[in-house]
Chains A and B, each alone.
Chain A
Amino acid sequence: MADSPSQSIDVTYVADLARLRLSPEEISTFQKQLGDVLGYVSQLAEVDVSQISLLGEADLKNRLRVDEVGPSLTPTEALANAPKQDNNLFVVPRIIE
């Protein structure tokens, strides 16, 4: 784990993680702009957080409910916005040869 934040970001690598195909122009623009933003947010390193719990005040309770079937979208409605569908299923490019 890195203890202190880095101010460089490998935009090509992160864009791939995020499933975003960027143009070379976008990569170089974002590299600079996000470098500035990371420089700005790195000021958080000066805050002493050693006494602070990650979860804060845990004043929340679970909300449980009975697992009952209620009104919902029909398959036709749920699929209506899909770019490609067939036989009540979403269709995507072949994944396994």
Chain B
Amino acid sequence: MTSLTIPELREKLRSGALKSREIVDQLARRVEAVDPKLKAYNYVDADKSRAEADKADVAKPLGGVPIAIKDVINVKGDPCTCASKILQGYVAPYDATVITKLREAGAVLFGRTNMDEFAMGSSTENSSWGVTRNPWDLDRIPGGSSGGSAAAVGGHEAFAALGTDTGGSIRQPAALCSCVGLKPTYGRVSRYGLVAFASSLDQIGTFTKTTEEAALLLEIIAGFDPRDNTSVDRFVPKYTQSLHQGVKGLRLGVPKEYFVEGMDPEVEKAVRAAIDEYKRQGAEIVEVSLPHTKYAVAVYYIIATAECSANLARFDGVRYGKRAANPKDILDMYGRTRAEGFGAEVKRRIILGTYVLSSGYYDAYYNRAQKVRHMIAEDFRLAFGKCDALLTPTSPTAAFKIGERTQDPLQMYLADIFTIAVNLAGICGVSIPCGFTSSKLPIGLQIIGPKWGEETMLRVAHAYEQATPWHKEKPVI
């Protein structure tokens, strides 16, 4: 039952064949059975979800459907730890706008999913509450930072989940766990109530089993919010209605810089086969160039760390969460609270970000990175003059082994090499399942759209999904 899609659940709920409470019960049982192995969840309060289920109005678009939430989004009355010790004990005093919208659509909130601390990481190994494991191979990482959401949906212990994507944190884990992971255009979804990491890059998005569900959830969570001045007042299309139009006559670009040395040959083969499938369906394939691609990771680790060093200054032991015991004075309190509360990766990034913004280095690092960022965005603008969407691999490799890259942050950063530029340009991207390696590890195809190009992008994703079996496969846990 936990393998049903949202439209299937909705049909059963509306016909009376299933009650929302039964769905929550089944889900809770599935979590009990598999989560000791996966550790996708940080927190589940099944009784609270049952109470919401009993009140759910099944006539609504998500009426009675449980949705899991990444542990970085505020849900009133629940913990929101960001997988950090510094927020241990924090209870959210309000609902994020996406939560309000899910509630209005009738959804039942179910569980907070694990993540890299403050969404900093590509493997979910940086969680203070334990490592999440990949449902397809328990010795491997699920990707990150939204690895809990990906493992929960990929492992069929969530029907769908919200995540956040700052440099690939939805798309990369979705690829590694065989789910559909959607990062909307910057400004499409309100971030009010999302704990900020890098404010010019962060965006909330979805994990689902199918593109139809991604379209449905986006319709619900998208839209202008006066409480988030970076959200954009722009019409929200009915993404579910344009899904089925096929790709005939569309021009799909293949950026040559995304097929590089060092890429896993099995990943390249699967993505090339996907491109052939699009050709077969009548799309025109055009080669395009994004010449500044190779600088994206460097630009990202300057801009994202600079922004995080400012955003995380608020965790100082005064207003929320943890405070070090018996501080001598206020500087001692700040220094020790932050030393005890933050994990190694968060500290590294705060230091790097503080450094690139410090006097004497600001121009050479931060300002230069901002300029190269504009060049990356311009590359995409020119490419979208020649095509409607881009096709690339989501990740250069399938899931790597737990512990393999933890001692070498730079190698870890390179896991996001194909996803980061999308955030820098503020455009949209989705990862969909496109096959498996010979050792049965999922491979993702990334489809990139221009700003506000979600309709066409999801239509492209749907056309491939309908012609292939990958999204129907289920891991044995």
The interface of chain A, by Cβ under 8 A from chain B, is 1-6, 9, 11, 14-15, 17-23, 26, 29-30, 33-34, 36-38, 40-41, 43-45, 47, 49, 52-54, 56-57, 63, 65, 73, 77-78, 80-84, 90, 92-95
Contact = CB atoms under 8 A, between A and B. Distances in A.
Interface in B297-316: 297-299, 301-302, 309, 313, 316
Given A18-B309, A81-B93, A44 B368 contact: yes
A80 B93 contact: yes
Contact of A49 (B332, B338, B372): B372
B355 A14 contact: yes
23 contacts: A2-B364, A6-B364, A11-B351, A15-B347, A15-B351, A17-B354, A19-B334, A20-B338, A20-B342, A20-B351, A26-B347, A33-B348, A38-B352, A40-B298, A43-B298, A45-B364, A49-B375, A53-B371, A54-B370, A73-B93, A84-B323, A93-B328, A94-B330
B336 interface: yes
Nearest to A91: B318
Contacts of B336: 21
Given A18-B309, A54-B370, A65-B226, A37 B375 contact: no
Nearest to B227: A70
B101 interface: no
A44 B368 CA distance: 7
Contacts of A17: 354, 358
Given A21-B338, A84-B323, A93 B368 contact: no
Interface in B73-106: 89-91, 93-94
Contacts, number: 164
Nearest to B367: A54
A33 B349 CA distance: 11
A40 B338 contact: no
Nearest first, the 10 A-B pairs at minimum CB distance are: A21-B335, A83-B323, A56-B374, A81-B320, A49-B371, A41-B298, A52-B371, A19-B334, A21-B339, A18-B354
B335 A19 contact: yes
For chain B, the bracket of interface size reads: 35 or more
A46 to B, nearest CB: 9
B192 interface: no
Contact of A22 (B316, B347, B370): B347
Most B C-beta atoms less than 10 A away, residue of A14, A29, A30:
A14
Contacts of A6: 361, 364
Contacts of B294: 43
Nearest to B362: A1
A65 B451 CA distance: 25
Contacts of A44: 295, 298-299, 302, 365, 368-369, 372
B410 interface: yes
A7 B351 CA distance: 14
A54 B226 CA distance: 28
B363 A37 contact: no
A49 B410 CA distance: 25
Given A47-B372, A54-B371, A63-B229, A26 B344 contact: yes
B285 interface: no
Given A2-B361, A17-B354, A56-B374, A33 B226 contact: no
